[in-house]
Structure 1
Amino acid sequence: MQKKLVGLLEQALFASAVFILVLLAFETKIVIPVWLQPLGRMHPLILHFPIVILLLAVVVEAFRFRKASVTVQSESNTASFSEFYKTFSANLLLVGALLAAVTVIMGLFLSREDGYTGTVVQWHKWTGVATFFLAALIYWARSREWYTPVMAQSGAVLMSVVLIGAGHYGSVITHGENFITAPLQKQKNTDPVDLQQALVFNDVIKPIFEQKCTSCHNPDKLKGELALTDAESIQKGGKSGKLYVAGQPDISLLLKRIHLPVEEKKHMPPSGKAQLTPTEIKLLALWVKGRAEFSRKVVELPATDSLRIMATTLFKPKQQTKTEFAFEAADDETVKKLNTDYRTIAPLAKESPALAVNLYNKAAYSSEKLQELSSIKKQVVYLNLNKLPVKDADLKYISQFENLEKLDVNFTDITGKELNQLAPLKQLQSLALSGTPVKYADLQKQVGTFKNLKTVALWETGLTEAEIHQLQKSYPAIQFIAGFDGEKSEPIRLNPPQLKNLPIFAQSTPIQLKHPVKGVEIRYTTDGTDPDSINSPICDGKTIITEGTTIKAKAYKSGWFSSPVATFNYYKSGYKPDSATLLMPLNPVHQAEGANTFFDHKLGTLNANSPAWANNWAGVRKNDLVLVSEFKKPISISSVDLRTMIEPETGIFPPAEIEIWGGNSRDQLKLITTTHPNLPAPKSDPVLKAVGCTFKPQTVSYLKIIAKPVSKLPEWHPSKGKQGLLLVDEVFIN
């Protein structure tokens, strides 16, 4: 290497040392500009070069003082070889030290971003800094007279130790604490957890976090100020707020981040990391839906609970015997084909041939769905048809499952008159008939045909307490479960009321609310206050509203705690255009049904990136939303509202500006009014809200609505300066 170049590199090495010392001295006061952050994120890419070069350099340096092991022809040759070796060693060490300096600087830049806190990060930082300064010190000392072979060898050993330490702590940051020893630990812990002792969180949910999340969300690498290593940290949440809303996966941050497109910056796990499987996503959603409990056992969940059914396959039964079932397991491909969006089939336990079948969705149900299961009729031991329109005629298809042990037909249309069709089911032990129109006479006559029946659930049927008592007396070997009596038991909390009718109307509509528990009294308000059990009116379905109204409602029943307040919005939509056209493109992710979306009376929900709801939201980000509507007969209008999603945390904002244009010709429209909706405050909750404007009545045949997305997110937002996303699902013209 030319002396001039060596001199420049030595100056760069000295300057790097000074710059690193400045960064360390003023670390807490330095703010890394956005344009420099990508440089910091190249730290993992560059760090491998100095590791290899420095290790090679110190090894070469350690052997510099040894005599060449080869025989040379003359003293001049020996001197020439020695000089080459010395120069090569120096150049290698200089290049390695400079690359280490670049890596350290990048790492210090990266450490200023959110989430790089904790003991491991500090150890990685200081061992990395020590690597650079040790390399620079060896390079500076190697040309001094007092530099001895012992010092060279000691420097090589020390450099190796420091480099290995820095690399180890770096791997802990990126891959988790047990990354190196994990295979050994897995080999040790091969025995499945006992099902009777398994906890929903510790043994089902926590392993998902450990495999896919804790490498970035642990006390030593606190990305987003969120740790997922223990229950307390998970309940606390992180910088963006609570991780979940108990019982509501659709609006929980955990599920929102998971359902974001992989290319989105906030998608979790990040692109490039191992992604969650569909099963893992469903388990997390079911856990949150079940109120995200941390101490409950799997076997304490109801037998029909989807989380229990899925989790059971992960564990061994308490007493596992190979001869428990006489039949062989069904073909895996057959089971896979029979699984659909509305029918799940899963083993009762790991390596068990017995299958549990759950059917969902009233609209998708038909007796053919039962007939399709004939290929696995021997393996089905549990069948759940809860809340489906199952008729007495369907019992003959259920009777094909010769090894069926548990049958759930709660809240179906089974009358009990033809229960004898199930007589071939010699293994049937549990029959759930709650919420069905069964009669005492039919049960008294037919229950005796089941020789192995142990339990019959009959709560919320028309049977009286005396009739159930008589059944119990007639069949003492069977337990007849009458269920919960709110007036005789400890009170529990009611679920919130539900909306019964479509909340969009043209002229008027009744306020109609419902509740799944019989005998509940629903009280409501329309003035924004919370309803009470004395003064607020009772919802009887007769109150008529003629304007858009916000309803707050609570459910009450003797012997129960009142429900939480439920809020519903009724929207008035007086006019529907004869045709509608979008003049500018929609966001590729949120196309919905194009212009038809705004007048189809299909309301979207929070979590617009969930596949189940994405078709209801039309969105724009890079351009305005421009909608032109035509009315064949002129109409008189005085208000226009857009129903929008507002979710500040994910950058979904209301429009920055709305313009309303109107006229009798498409080419000669006049500006009627302009409005600027209020932008959300920091850390405000997600909300679905109609925003728009009112104005003096205008007669129009054509109406143009221009909604402009926020061009720059506010300073308080993590993505400040970027464009906001505008989502609209309905337009109300009155």
Structure 2
Amino acid sequence: MHLKLRVFAEQVLVAANIFVLFLLLFESKLVIPAWLQTIGRMHPLILHFPIVILLLAMLLEFFRFRPEYAGNAFYRNFLQGLLLIGALFAAVTVIMGLFLSREEGYAGDTLTWHKWTGAGIFFLASMIYWVRNAKWYKAVAARGGAFITVVALVMTGHYGAALTHGSDFIWEPISKKTVAEVPLDEAVVYTNVIRPILEQKCTSCHNPDKLKGELILTDPQSIMKGGKSGKLLIPGNPQMSLLLQRVHLPMEEKKHMPPSGKAQLTLQEIALLTLWVKQKADFDKKLTELPASDSLRMLATAYLQPQAQEEEYDFAAADEDKVKELNTDYRTILPLARESPALAVNIYNAAAYNVKQIDELGDIRKQVVSLNLNKLPVKDADLKSITQFENLRKLDLNFTEVTAAGLKELGSLKHLQNLTLSGTRLNLNDLKGLLPQLKSVKTVAVWDTKLSAADVQHLQQANKGMTIIGGFKDDGKNPLKLNPPQMKNASPIFAQTLTLDIQHPIKGVDVRYTLDGSEPDSITSPLLDHKTVIRQNTTVRAKAYKKGWYGSDMVTFDYFKSAYKPDSGTLLAPLNRVHQAEGVKTFFDHKLGVIGANNPAWANNWAGVRNNDMAFESEFKTPVMLSSLGVRYMVEEDTGIFPPELVEIWGGTTRDNMKLLAKFKAPMPVKGERASLRSVEGSFKPQQVSFIKIVARPLSKIPEWHRSKGNRALLLVDEMFLN
């Protein structure tokens, strides 16, 4: 490496070490703008370079002191350059990874281990580069450093794979468990049927270590709580349950779950989830508590039966050269499983589709057991060509142009078990005449057709040997209730102005709102157009409306103006041992807490006191003009969490001459009042200050009607607003 270039690269390496250390120390304060998010998402792309380069460098370093290499100038210079390049790539990878980790969906111990082992590799590689020419650096040190670096690389890769694919991704093929073997009279529907499905298809992205969408699917409480997009399940109503909506979205939709590239839910698994939600999503009900004729019981019983061995086919494998010849840009033919003669065919590109693409498969007609024709202009006349596949088990005709008249041709397929007809123009009368003729078919999917929920139920009762997977189509004939709108602003706290961003996950929904405390209606209330700007504390009430749907429940969003943030602060009295949060920083970090702060997992944003006042001083390096103080607090009278009895704000130009600017009280709850989050504000004559002191006094005596009457209450505050 050229001397000047090497010196420059070494200077960059020093700066990178300082920058990475800075990011690690102040990671919790990082706010990543959109353009940096793009850079962060390049982390999976770039990480392979330092892995390969450092592995090669460590291999060379391990043998560096052998006599045949020790005096080789080319070996020495090449290794030095390789190690420098590897360390620089490691720096870039770590920085990108830290940016990426600030996005939603990344949390927990796995992320922590991945982050620190990755950063450790970078620091270790940098240290080896700087000390490798020291007199004390001998063969033992070189081999030890190389060995530790390689081990760290393996560990980092393991934790990275766990974050991306799930903790059991590597060993799943050899450790994959069969469905829980449990006697049917002891089986619990959730524990033995639903939970295994979620574990296999969902929890790799939705667990405490990887909170994608702030959603956890590893325990009943978290499942019912839902995530960032709202409730996951509406017990008794699968059509309105977000879980089933996402499952039935087209594969190319960004919100389709599981995401493209992950193992998808089978028709049987979708049916089980749908029926379970329809049965009120009971987490404790035993299988035998369901009626013997119940669809969920019958399907779950089949699911729990000991798994049969892989089907053995009575036909020979197709000629490999012929299969290779039949593979084209718009048609793929793949073995159904390793060493299996069965083939799965997928045909793509509606513009290029022609029935000849089916006819050309005559040489492998016996081996085709799965045929995917989704979203192609398949017509009734084409179905006759499909009947040549005498061993066909699965046929996907979603969003095609077939009708019931043409589908009757499929009655000659004696092995056809799964048929998907979602998005077709079939109606109830069509299917009433068709389904009895498809005697071998076990599962039919009719999502997004002209069938109503009642139609699907009618077909299910008339065809008890089949599982009919239906869904709701927005045709206005079967109105359902919309979910409430959702706040999409990064934070409801703003300094000067904020443009309201309240949206709904369903396309074409109107969000109407009011700012005067009244309930929005679908006609006179203003339509949210993403241009509404607020400049002061504001309570927004919003409802969602769409033709063919019932309007949503009203939802309330509180926005808070906080124009000033102190530069430093000091507690004057200790906080409660459980509710330390981040000390004085808690009050001005723009992070709002949630109800449930006595749960340690939710207590991070709450600062609390009971036996003394909540008191602190703060300083502004540049004087500010203050005229009000707002305090946001929790009320949960059942657990003894009450509003502040008194709040005082003091201010002045120096620490020693502060005077009382205002004192105010918060309204007290009444017996039986529901837990809530509230705020109280005190105003005063505008005053220029460099120092402030805030004192919030907890309620000294809990009311007589409370079981803890006479005791001091707990005061919890998550944010204060200075304006």
Structure whose CA Rg is larger? 1
TM-score (norm 1): 0.48
TM-score, length-normalised on structure 2?
A: 0.48
